[in-house]
Structure 1
């Protein structure tokens, strides 16, 4: 059976265009792949269209809109997830319109489907006190506890994404002065972030304890599980949840649910509150656009208040007269009906 145009374009989009021309990361490609797995499932289950007969002409803007509604209502996905799926479809159709110019009108109708507006939630993060409590939970008397303490400290101190942490290799840790961590982020972009003295010491002891300082081990994963494989995102999330439960027995300043990305948000907010310039924070986090970093400034109401106080003189007089001394006014108020 001859492959359909949809099968041909999708295969080339995922296997050639994204990794080769766009230099997309494995995570981006996996996310896009999952979008089309869902779309194919929708066509099979809801439209009774078998995958081997699915053509580009069938994937109209009306079908795509219905698919997005199905994601949101039937699968109970958030608007953010819906928009993420639509972004993947938009990218695919932009690719397709260059491959098949004759279908450009059909493709642009799909590209014109708008992103659904949603309220922007505040950035979930931990206070410095909550983070300090959480980082104090791993036991230092066991090798697992020392590994977990090092892992959580690196996750916070470097402000890295959880996948960047999972992908770390021994050679990515540079303990010379100044100590830095080499992170490979989205789009395989590499950045070097400085490490604070305490985190550097933890890493130094961890590497020595696990004999990772041998030259032939430079490409070994930095953090591994019991099966001696590198930790996964889910594995790191599980480790965090264990210590969140312990910390909450001491104080509820630690939220009930702490996701790995909250360490990154927390580091960003703490840097901002310490007066670090947004440009530096942008580079530290590996953001391409300063607008992405500005979300932290928008969420910190105390920082806004201080900025306003410093920018304007105190024009409002907060000294109020003592109305109790005004007998005439008190009599008038008492007689008021």
Structure 2
């Protein structure tokens, strides 16, 4: 077994136990460090992970750029490498962190497509409630827009975590973190229709009894299925935009902020650890910010 494999396994163990990361995040870290280990074993086979220097890491990053890997992907890989070397420092396996001065490519803040309220309404109303999955699909889309859920949070939602009486959902987000998210009355109305008119009559597969949204076979819906449902409804609504489940989340945040919602409140609802992540969801230009200052600050 190469030393790289040994340290990678220790790193994975640490991420799983200490950081409680999701399977997707664990896999991403694993792939990032594997890319570095493949490069090092090919270019510098005698150098162990503990002997890597900044020059080696810069050579690896330059190789990523030569492969025309996007700046966003480069930045994510570098973030994974930095986490790996922070772990080695944490375990006292190295005395100096070679990745500390490793620079990520400068990223522009790319905003995903946003839907206007009118476009959201068009998509929602394109769902035919008379169709077999109509009630389910309408309830799902209403919930994505009403609460700004990630697609994984929507699919993992359980019946016991819907508090319709107070208008809240208990959501398990990234890193297994729980949060309470408000949900609108329209979304709850369509959810009740789905539960009472459709789901109650389904034969539910063993182990899937608690999940809210089910497929025809009575099993939890897949991510791919949600993407396909949205693609179909967007086409039916005649909207020429690239729309995904995340577009509903982004539109939810944007419409709240444009309506005057506090950024911290939106941060809480989206489950962002950092306020800077939430700021990506705003389209507030400088003129608007200047106008806010002029209107509301006591010393203009």
Q: Name the TM tier (shorter chain).
A: 0.7 to 0.9
Q: Show the counterpart of 1:116.
A: 105
Candidates 82, 88, 91, aligned match of 1:96: 88
Structure 2 distance, partners of 1:136, 1:301, is 35
- Structure 2 residues not aligned, in runs of 5+: none
Contact 1:171 1:218 in 2 (8 A): no
1:271 offset after TM fit, Å? 0.8
* C-alpha distance after superposition, 1:154-174 (max 9, x if no partner): 111110111111221222222
* Secondary structure in structure 1 of the residue aligned to 2:181: strand
Contact 2:127 2:138 in 1 (8 A): yes
1:273 offset after TM fit, Å? 1.7
Cα pair distance change 1:5/1:228, threshold 3 Å: same
- After TM superposition, the score normalised by the length of structure 1 is 0.77
Q: How does 1:170-319 map to 2 (within 5 A)?
A: 170-175=159-164, 177-208=165-196, 209-211=198-200, 219-248=209-238, 254-297=239-282, 299-300=284-285, 303-304=288-289, 306-307=291-292, 310=295
Contact 2:85 2:98 in 1 (8 A): no
Contact 1:125 1:266 in 2 (8 A): yes
Cα pair distance change 1:310/1:99, threshold 3 Å: closer
Structure 2 distance, partners of 1:287, 1:212, is 37
Cα pair distance change 1:199/1:69, threshold 3 Å: same
Comparing 184-193 with 296-305, greater Cα deviation is found at: 296-305
* C-alpha distance after superposition, 1:174-219 (max 9, x if no partner): 22x21211111112111111211111011112112211899x9885
Structure 1 distance, partners of 2:102, 2:27, is 23
Structure 2 distance, partners of 1:246, 1:72, is 40
1:136 offset after TM fit, Å? 1.4
Structure 1 distance, partners of 2:123, 2:69, is 30
Candidates 63, 73, 78, aligned match of 1:81: 73
Decide which structure has the larger Cα Rg and report it.
1
1:291 offset after TM fit, Å? 2.8
Cα pair distance change 1:262/1:117, threshold 3 Å: same
CA RMSD of aligned residues (A): 3.0
1:305 offset after TM fit, Å? 6.5
1:302 offset after TM fit, Å? 7.5
Alignment partner of 1:138 is 2:130 = no
* C-alpha distance after superposition, 1:50-98 (max 9, x if no partner): xxx8831565433433333333442x43211111111111111111123
Contact 1:158 1:194 in 2 (8 A): yes
Q: Which has the higher contact order (CA 8 A, sep 6+)?
A: 2
Cα pair distance change 1:149/1:301, threshold 3 Å: farther
- Structure 1 residues not aligned, in runs of 5+: 249-253, 313-337
- After TM superposition, the score normalised by the length of structure 2 is 0.86
Aligned length: 296
* Secondary structure in structure 1 of the residue aligned to 2:95: helix
Cα pair distance change 1:166/1:58, threshold 3 Å: farther
Cα pair distance change 1:236/1:63, threshold 3 Å: farther
Structure 2 distance, partners of 1:185, 1:306, is 35
Structure 2 distance, partners of 1:191, 1:165, is 13
Contact 2:169 2:180 in 1 (8 A): yes
